[in-house]
Chains A and B, each alone.
Chain A
């Protein structure tokens, strides 16, 4: 069979780090990047006799996240121990939620080729993170390993999608929308590079029309949106080729090798551990009053989905545009403020997604670090619109705004960049040029339309590009036909 004879089925398991001040079961700081083993106490480092106490903020964030994903919020939930030995897991069990997750049966809408598609959310549950091992070189050759327990007890929400995605690009869209939804809900920083957003992908393939799911492979070590997309594409192709070769796929966990751009087998289902989940006896079951959920719901801000619909309906922007504009609450706020000051949403969107993003990416800055305000950008766009500056000049002014944070008007003034649109000034200049170039005037009158281009060029040269080119064209036309 050919690749187009197969359907790819993808589900994602996403870990989102909740941005509470303190850890899930103790008072230790939940801050990234501290010196090893400085954010630790008897509880999160698993010392004898220490007991966990649940951080209420963790539950509140989980409820917020659940509501943002249209989930049902359990009125009764509990915590379970997932038992396994590893040096970064001090208690030899991870506290998680097994059969009663706090959130279930939700969904999130994404746009595929401009059309909405609903991706089911199977469940989202609260769990604690484990620590980190630092090896000397590779794990297989290291002489010793160091254990850093700072991350132990960092609160996580694991969000498990339904196997509703059908191509790598959809999975990427889902993850991007999930990220922005968590950012808007205010529950996580979702920084993939710091590990506060982590993603595993479940991938299988099946012949088109087949109802039963194919053998599932879980891919780990996906550290960017790009590696998610690449890994799924590679893995799906690998599975199709294996099936074409008559191989039987095994259910297994594979890791994405970023360097070689391939997935490699980590362990098969048979080697998978029995985690012996059972209710954690140190944590009482959690009863969540409806009033709590309702008050969280009332405090919910506009979410990416609502914002995207608003921008599409109100401004007629494309699904692609709005997905970028809603990539973070700050980015959307910048757009909204800019549009409030300059009511041409498409132009604002184009400048933000074009020049602004280009400069932000080049200098590796966030929108929050932009040195000029949305109103400053609006001012520049207004100047273009009014013909005060040309599009080309505007790009130079923008670069200066980005570098210095100065308002456009000031830059224009300082550099003498204002476009010359004063008719009298321009007519006087044109008359001089016409006098100086009688031959060209003659050519033009003789039917050589192109001759006018030379005349315009002379004006632009004389004004160092500051003349309004549209106006110059019109005026030259007028002067020549008048004589």
Chain B
């Protein structure tokens, strides 16, 4: 096996026992990138030279603590000082921040090596990475299919073996759905667990920074490195960060798992559903207690989620006005034209659509009917979850209604595209942690199982994911190399 095919924890051992060097790992990844990137197109910016230089410096020191020497990617909405941060938008095509996202800084403090900035749907709005203003990313399992989104580049590159792990952001499904589509592990922590400072948000109350890895053990390692209170983010929470790796135990006897009937109903692909039902049987065989439960307000979740996401996005997108940075149309005659022409040129169709929807939802006379009602639904959804968690440790469901769809299949149909959030958006509304892990294959494409934990109880969620992974081999498959 090549170095780039191993996991973070395996490479950590090899580095610490001096059986390999960071330079060798980076080179192995660069070789892989040379092989597949022309097709996959996961990177917006590839930092080949910087990565090699950093690896050599690290190898000179010869100490490999934390995530030292491990190459990773950042979704291109994480601000990186001196490195272009585009949000896959014409608006920020040449934007170079002068400050680092806290999560990115914590990784560089852990000596992980940044390989590049990953493709995404523009401003994290979308579910296929086709809405990148630059180019679509392709699913490494089938180049005719999408990798999911909006963190599509982050998931595709990890699945393709171009990098060992990546960070993404998730305001509805943007880490978990691409993880599901690409057959990797994607974790969105509880709201407030990871700092959002320096992450270019779309919907501040829903956005959370998370992790994409090849297995659950790596996921715990990376989460450990980025979690914790940040004084620069008022919404980050000052709860102690538990030892996530220590929570990974195969024994889940007596663990109480709930599966909500609303998440297995119409609209969910029968084969996807079957995979998750099969996974539940695996859990049962491991000694877990499985029950069907109800999250009665689920049918209102998607519209309420979209209203809040669009409302917050409409306000967050206001700063892109051509005044201080980003695209400006210099042909405008006056300031109002400068605004509309710059924003007209800078934003893609879906971003504009969401700005319009959000602006409308917040307008006088509509606020009570739309935004305020959505806030009330949000509370009801939270109550639904709280009730289930009175009796259960983890909730299990499919991550996405289908496996990865073909490029172009959903473009031009925003409503179908928005359906991708239907099984995961509620967790963002309730601020809960959720993660997707591989649980099967349909049409030779990976299927993701969604685990939802109690607020800030990532350890129990990780433990359930780890136990399943230990009992199965889905996570060992790679594009073009199914393990049966």
Contact = CB atoms under 8 A, between A and B. Distances in A.
A48 B367 contact: no
Contacts of A83: 314-315, 318, 362
Given A281-B312, A282-B234, A282-B235, A51 B197 contact: yes
A405 interface: no
A51 B232 contact: yes
Interface string A386-401: 0000000000000000
A83 B315 CA distance: 7
Interface residues on B, range: 35 or more
A150 interface: no
B97 A47 contact: yes
A49 B234 contact: no
B323 A49 contact: no
A49 B200 contact: yes
Given A90-B323, A278-B367, A281-B204, A49 B318 contact: no
Contacts of B321: 85, 87, 92
Nearest to A282: B204
Contact of B362 (A49, A53, A145, A278): A278
A284 B318 CA distance: 21
Interface in A64-122: 81, 83, 85, 87, 90-93
A37 to B, nearest CB: 10
A45 B231 CA distance: 19
A281 B235 CA distance: 9
Residue in A48, A52, A274, A283 with the greatest tally of chain B CB atoms within 10 Å: A48
Interface string B192-218: 000011111101110000000000000
A36 interface: no
Contact of A278 (B198, B235, B315): B315
For the residues of A in contact with B, the DSSP-based class is loop
Contact of B234 (A42, A52, A81, A145): A52
B94 to A, nearest CB: 13
A40 to B, nearest CB: 10
B323 A87 contact: yes
B363 interface: yes
A54 B234 contact: yes
Contacts of B79: 48-49
A100 B196 CA distance: 26
B335 interface: yes
Nearest to B312: A281
A469 interface: no
Contacts of A81: 315
Given A92-B315, A282-B204, A45 B324 contact: yes
Contacts of A282: 204, 234-235
- For B198, B204, B319, the residue with the greatest tally of chain A CB atoms inside 10 Å of its CB is B319
Interface string A227-267: 00000000000000000000000000000000000000000
Closest CB pairs A-B (n = 5): A92-B318, A281-B204, A281-B205, A276-B362, A49-B198
Interface of B: 77-79, 85, 87, 92, 95, 97-99, 101, 196-201, 203-205, 231-235, 311-312, 314-315, 318-319, 321, 323-325, 335, 339, 359, 362-364, 367, 371
28 contacts: A45-B324, A46-B319, A46-B324, A48-B79, A48-B319, A49-B79, A49-B97, A49-B198, A49-B199, A50-B197, A51-B196, A53-B231, A83-B318, A87-B321, A87-B323, A90-B323, A91-B319, A92-B319, A93-B318, A147-B323, A147-B324, A276-B314, A276-B362, A276-B363, A278-B311, A281-B205, A281-B235, A283-B234
